Amino acid sequence: MSEAKQFAVFGGGCFWCTEAVFDELRGVHSVISGYAGGKNQNPTYEQVCMGNTGHAEVIKIDFDPAQISFRDLMTVFFATHDPTTLNRQGNDTGTQYRSAIFYADEEQKAQAAAFIKQLDDAKTFKDAIVTTLEPLTEFFPAEGYHQKFYANNPFQPYCQNMIPPKLTKLHKQFGELLKSHK
């Protein structure tokens, strides 16, 4: 991948939640909610929610590796969702909410595998990590109303319950990685 701009694709449950977290990181140019890992071309939200497309709700993060590393992104990813629950994040259940890293190349795959092993060996979590490593074959952007969902709908009840605790954790643990950090 080019050093000037890279991308990472993560599935960590509801894409509204993960997008809100990664939007705040320095070096992140854009975060796009979408779908990856399934068999349907151009899936819709309704199709993915049915759970039979094989797609996961994901975010595609375009970032500058001179400002934030893929490892930093993985550190935030593993700290802001539960990578030990299979096909589930909170009340959201199904393969569309699986914890997954969709790697763009063999380097990302190797880095992610080594990082997961390091976390498991250190017993960072009570249970073993179930995050899948899947090749990114295609990324499909979600419908427009899903983009920047939390920023545009901060009072939506699901968002009010799920996203602020993730952002609080982000600010407490990763302040040096935030765009607002001086």
- Tens of pLDDT along 58-117? 999 999 999 999 999 999 999 999 999 999 999 999 999 999 999 999 999 999 999 999
Edge to edge, the sheet with strand 139-141 lists 132-135, 99-103, 6-12, 56-63, 28-36, 139-141
Q: How many structural domains comprise the chain?
A: 1
The domain in which residue 120 lies consists of: 6-167
User: Is residue 45 included in any domain, yes or no?
Assistant: yes
User: Is residue 176 included in any domain, yes or no?
Assistant: no
Q: Which residues are catalytic?
A: 14
User: Is residue 182 included in any domain, yes or no?
Assistant: no
User: Is residue 111 included in any domain, yes or no?
Assistant: yes
User: Is residue 174 included in any domain, yes or no?
Assistant: no
pTM score, two decimals?
0.95
User: Is residue 61 included in any domain, yes or no?
Assistant: yes
d(Cα 92, Cα 90) in Å, to the nearest integer?
5
User: Is residue 100 included in any domain, yes or no?
Assistant: yes
User: Is residue 66 included in any domain, yes or no?
Assistant: yes
